[in-house]
Structure 1
Amino acid sequence: MLTHTEFMAMRRFPALDGLRAVAAVIVVVSHFAGPRWTWVSGWVGVYIFFVLSGFLITTLLLREQSSAGRISLKSFYIRRVFRILPPYLVILGFIVLFCALRGEFYSREFPTALPYYLTFFNEFLPEANPTGPNNFFSGSWTLGIEEKFYLFWPVLIVVVGVAAVKRRIAVAVAALAAMVLLIPFTGGWIMDYSLTLLYESTVHYAILLLGALLAVLMHNERTFALVAPLTHPLAAIPVVGGFLLLHVNMTDLWASTRNNLWLLLGYAVLVALLLVVLVSRGPVRWLLSTAPMRFVGDRSYSLYLIQGVAHFIVVLAIPRFAVNGTSTAIVVVVVSLLMADLVYRWFEQPAISLGRKIVKRYKPQPGPPAEPLPAPAQVPSTA
């Protein structure tokens, strides 16, 4: 089994890069592969991203707090701005320019959409523009959710400060409970196939906080013992098996339950358990840590955002790919990945490096560690 000492000494969680790769690719497959691939349940890939984000961001913050004695919100927000905004704005700008050159800036209603995209209120656009045409950026609604989480959750952790572990857990549980209790007031538990209600529901913040709660539990040695049994190699069998069983049936269950949000929460819990398996030794971690998986995982953010316009360009070049199917999905994944690779190399990586340099210029001297660490812990690079 994985020990707490080994977990805290990890500099990277490479298998989580691979999981991001899987999540991004199945999202694209769900959009363009046609009805024969509904079992892939790619639409829930965004909920894998949510659990991952909650876990990684909270791990980053707690490790900084433990090693430096405090959390620098300024440093955190600078890193987030330089991590998220450059690819986001580059891809949005490319899509707007592409549509403008085709004379479709107004017909695709960008004057209505841009205020939402530029202020990260993306998830509220469908309600404001229910009959709006496809503008190739509608998938960015998830960024509106994540940006609000990044804005408020770190502040809560700073308010808790270097308090006892019980208080950290209490804050995470209370925040999670609050988001669950608000679900009836933000659309209800049954969506009845309404994407507008789904986008605006607080269930997404609850799912992000499930990942955050897992990070809090794993950060402390005493509470790490609660999840330690899942780090045994044999534990991967029921966890991975249960996750796959639910995942391939999610689309049917989602339809048959009229989009019951308890289904999403249950799925998120299984994803959280899967994360424990993926940071532990075993064949699943090895598979998702391979170089090809990490390559796609590193580019998953841009791949996710650029898939719509990539499909449109593919159809312009080869009209037969206007019909969704297996070959269409494969070509769109490849073209999206090639375009994402350009964004990653030319904008994403340089911006991340610049953000780190800015942070280093005024990084405060570390104080005494709040919790003694068994080994130097660094922020996982997948965050």
Structure 2
Amino acid sequence: MPRNPGIDALRGASILLVVLHHLALRIPLKQTALAGFVPARLLAALSWNGWSAVFVFFVISGFLIAGHAIARWGTLARPDLRAFYLLRATRILPLLLALLAVLSLLQLAGAQDYVIHGEGQSLGGALLAALGLHLNWYEGATGWLPGNWDVLWSLSIEEAFYLGFPLACLLLRRERWLFAAMIALALALPLFLARLEGSNEIWQEKAYLPGMSAIAAGIAAAIVAARARPNLAVASWLCAAGGIGLLVALLWGPWLWKLVGNGTMLVLTLSTACLLLGLHWRQQLAPRAGLRGLGWLRAQGRRSYEIYLTHMFVVYSLVALFKAGGGDMRGGWLWYVPAVLLCWGLGEVVARFFSDPVERRLRERWLSGGKMDGIERGR
């Protein structure tokens, strides 16, 4: 499966929303000069959709990882367990372990913004939670961790799902049964969210099952993408319907919530799945139909994992400079562009000089002399 520019752009938009959200928590756009002429709804959408963007990532992850598995082995019913787990490990672990090492050093050095000090929290507990795929549960039980640790909650959900997913494929044996299971799990998202009502805020946002529902929506879409043979009109319609649904969920989320409640997140995940289907089929049927003017967004999408794990270093540094310079909120919006560019630049540097070469060497050693090189990443 070649890289899909539309899916890369969608990933780029998602990581952009995550970065903007973490900036807006510290330099609120609604308090800047932009509030005088930019619609409040747009400012809110740019500021507070970080959590929703992670769910978009979940759907994309399910779609790409399942799609590549089908392309590699012909079916999801007979995955190669060793190859599947090694592919995930070589992509996720090198940068994750490097990040944990850096955060541990900053903790020991007592660096501001990086010290774990919540009641019931410790460096050892956070490390165990991050490596044991339950950092989301750890935060739900003990409280928020510093920002560079906090972003790892989504990895706990995603990788916990992928530990069991190939085993479920082998157990169910037939792809149609797996498809039915993924559809059921995807559609259960509102029920899972409803069951969490009354829990603390952290657990409502970071529980396992809602995130796994979003991943399942992507897997179901990947199965449809591999087995159906649509025409270009269907692909275009899916792009339009999915894009509109996603924009409605992101721009008018509060209104949609009043209308359908917990179904709002289902609108977001199913719209994302439809958009992925449309983008995938359009790439097959009209491969030269590019997205003009969005090269910068696609570039960020290609480095979304690196940006996601490292962007808080940039956010904390720029916010500290902003405060040191007087913290004038009216001009706070001026810090957003350099923040986005620096997050993108840091992700590019980390990918080019660390995660890409390390991943390539590990795959050359463990996966048949590098035959897996060139596979598009799931995140």
CA shift digits 1:74-113 (9 cap, x unpaired):
1121111110111122223223323432356453644232
Structure 2 residue 212 is the aligned partner of structure 1 residue 199: no
How far is the alpha carbon of 1:316 from its aligned partner? Answer: 3.1
Q: State the partner residue of 2:33.
A: none
How far is the alpha carbon of 1:14 from its aligned partner? Answer: 2.6
| Secondary structure of the structure 1 residue equivalent to 2:252 | helix
Distance 1:238 1:182 in 2: 20
Q: State the partner residue of 1:141.
A: 153
How far is the alpha carbon of 1:245 from its aligned partner? Answer: 2.6
Amino acid at match of 1:286: G
| Secondary structure of the structure 1 residue equivalent to 2:341 | helix
Is the CA contact (8 Å cut-off) linking 1:58 and 1:216 kept in structure 2? yes
Distance 2:206 2:191 in 1: 14
Could you say if the C-alpha distance between residues 235 and 212 of structure 1 is closer, same or farther in structure 2, counting changes exceeding 3 Å?
Answer: closer
Structure 2 residue 372 is the aligned partner of structure 1 residue 381: no
Residue range with higher mean Cα deviation, 132-141 or 321-330: 321-330
| Secondary structure of the structure 1 residue equivalent to 2:376 | coil
Structure 2 residue 117 is the aligned partner of structure 1 residue 107: yes
Amino acid at match of 1:79: L
Is the CA contact (8 Å cut-off) linking 1:243 and 1:271 kept in structure 2? yes
Structure 2 residue 312 is the aligned partner of structure 1 residue 308: yes
Q: TM-score, normalised to structure 2's length? A: 0.79
CA shift digits 1:206-241 (9 cap, x unpaired):
111011001111212xx444x97531x465444423
Q: State the partner residue of 2:19.
A: 28
Q: State the partner residue of 1:328.
A: 335
Unaligned runs of 5+ in 1: 1-9, 162-166, 365-377
Structure 2 residue 353 is the aligned partner of structure 1 residue 346: yes
Amino acid at match of 1:23: S
Q: 1:71 aligns with which of 76, 79, 84?
A: 79
How far is the alpha carbon of 1:191 from its aligned partner? Answer: 6.4
Is the CA contact (8 Å cut-off) linking 2:182 and 2:216 kept in structure 1? yes
How far is the alpha carbon of 1:190 from its aligned partner? Answer: 4.2
Is the CA contact (8 Å cut-off) linking 1:187 and 1:198 kept in structure 2? no
Could you say if the C-alpha distance between residues 313 and 102 of structure 1 is closer, same or farther in structure 2, counting changes exceeding 3 Å?
Answer: farther
Structure 2 residue 10 is the aligned partner of structure 1 residue 19: yes
Distance 2:326 2:66 in 1: 41
| Secondary structure of the structure 2 residue equivalent to 1:137 | helix
Q: 1:126 aligns with which of 139, 153, 157?
A: 139
Structure 2 residue 243 is the aligned partner of structure 1 residue 240: yes
Question: Which protein has greater RCO, CA pairs closer than 8 Å, 6+ apart?
Answer: 1
How far is the alpha carbon of 1:185 from its aligned partner? Answer: 6.9
- Within-5 A mapping of 1:1-383: 10-33=1-24, 34-36=28-30, 37-40=43-46, 41-66=49-74, 71-102=79-110, 105=115, 107=117, 109-111=121-123, 112-130=125-143, 132=144, 134-161=146-173, 167-178=174-185, 188=195, 190=197, 194-220=201-227, 223-225=228-230, 229-231=233-235, 233=236, 236-251=239-254, 253-254=256-257, 256=258, 260-279=261-280, 280=282, 286-287=290-291, 291-319=295-323, 320=325, 325-361=332-368, 381-383=376-378
Q: TM-score, normalised to structure 1's length? A: 0.78
Distance 1:115 1:90 in 2: 15
Amino acid at match of 1:113: A
Amino acid at match of 2:376: S
Is the CA contact (8 Å cut-off) linking 2:197 and 2:204 kept in structure 1? no
Distance 1:113 1:69 in 2: 36
How far is the alpha carbon of 1:331 from its aligned partner? Answer: 2.9
Residue range with higher mean Cα deviation, 178-187 or 295-304: 178-187
Give the paired residue count: 349
How far is the alpha carbon of 1:142 from its aligned partner? Answer: 0.5
Amino acid at match of 1:304: Y
Distance 2:84 2:20 in 1: 33
Distance 2:319 2:334 in 1: 12
Distance 2:151 2:204 in 1: 15
| Secondary structure of the structure 2 residue equivalent to 1:286 | coil
Unaligned runs of 5+ in 2: 31-42
Amino acid at match of 2:133: F
CA shift digits 1:51-71 (9 cap, x unpaired):
101111111111122299953
Is the CA contact (8 Å cut-off) linking 2:77 and 2:169 kept in structure 1? no
